[in-house]
Amino acid sequence: MGHEAKLINPRLVKAYVKGNKNDFNDAEAIFEAVTRPNMRFVAVKTVEQQDLQVLHRIRQSLVASRTALVNQIRGLLSEYGIVIGKGINQVRKILPEILEDGENGLTALGRELFAERYDQLKELDRQISEQDRRIERLAQQNDLSRRLVEIPGIGPVTATAVAADIGEGKSYRNGRDYAASLGIVPRQHSSGGKSQLSGISKRGNRYLRTLLIHGARAVLNTVERKTDPLSRWLKALKQRRGANIAAVALANKNARIIWALARTGAGYRPAVDTA
């Protein structure tokens, strides 16, 4: 009918609801919110972005199921007095040895049940690997993802997840707004002209924030043997403020770079020495 459809986060509409919640008050609050000059709207995703988002949701669900299964195996084995160290690799390595050991106290039924759990673990590994291969393939097919993987700390998984979220970056005024939407900027509590900043706000997309920070940690593990400007900056920041703050700082920087690449269509250009 010629109308322009806009999406609003329900949390931003809630402040305009008067009285009890009902359809009339909700509609009135939506109308009031949409007329605000500084209201923030949610970008409408393309079909390609929705496909990428669905793929990541499926992979995330499989990873959560695998983690729950591993924890269940470790917990059940501990009831028999068999303790396995933390980590999926420990379970993959030691569980077959436990099933082969005839003197560890497991009954025939117990071995059968744990063998089924081990087969289930291998099947989850196969499904996750299949999704990872699909993500790597899509990362090469998507123009934005192909440019994002050039950024240190961003691989195919993060690149495709970001591409499904940010699109062309038109929903954000600048890179800082995008970083703030992911919750990797300081939380502010200021009053009376006194500015108080604390830890990161942790707002927005937890999945993307986790990927960016984990990617930054991977970069931090290799900076000691590098001499490029980014590595020197990270080493100095790590020594001055610690590894956690350095990782979040790099994640923040990467989020701003991501917005710039999405908005301008340019490729990533690493910093170079000017001396």
How many CB atoms neighbour CB 180 within 10 A?
20
pLDDT digits (tens, 9 = 90+) for 125-170: 999 999 999 999 999 999 999 999 999 999 999 999 999 999 888 8
CA distances from 254 to 95, 112, 115, 158, 216 (A): 40, 48, 43, 11, 9
What pLDDT does residue 198 have?
A: 85
DSSP of 143-156, one letter per residue? Answer: HHHHHHTTSTT--H
The identity of residue 173, as a single letter, is: R
What pLDDT does residue 250 have?
A: 96
Beta-carbon contacts of 273 under 8 Å, excluding residues fewer than 6 positions away, are 229
Whole-prediction pTM:
0.85
What pLDDT does residue 274 have?
A: 62
Buried residues in 133-153 as b, exposed as e (16+ CB within 10 A): eebbebbeebebbebbbebbb
Residue 272, token pair as written in the block: 């170079």
Beta-carbon contacts of 135 under 8 Å, excluding residues fewer than 6 positions away, are 55, 56, 59, 156, 157, 160
Beta-carbon contacts of 196 under 8 Å, excluding residues fewer than 6 positions away, are 188, 189, 190
pLDDT in tens, the chain (275 residues): 898 888 898 989 999 999 999 999 999 999 999 999 888 888 888 899 999 999 999 999 999 999 999 999 999 999 999 999 999 999 999 999 999 988 888 999 999 999 999 999 999 999 999 999 999 999 999 999 999 999 999 999 999 999 999 988 888 889 999 999 999 998 888 888 888 888 888 888 899 999 999 999 999 999 988 889 999 999 999 999 999 999 999 999 999 999 999 999 899 998 777 65
Tell me the three state secondary structure of residue 7.
Answer: strand
How many CB atoms neighbour CB 215 within 10 A?
22
Which of 238, 150, 248 is CA-nearest to residue 197?
Answer: 248
Q: Running DSSP on this structure, what letter comes out for residue 194?
A: B
- Cα(first)–Cα(last) distance of the chain, in Å? 60
Longest dimension (CA), the chain: 75
Residue 251, token pair as written in the block: 């994640």
pLDDT digits (tens, 9 = 90+) for 246-273: 999 999 999 999 999 999 989 999 877 7
The angle formed by the CA atoms of residues 221, 223 and 226, to the nearest 5 degrees, is: 140
What pLDDT does residue 20 have?
A: 92
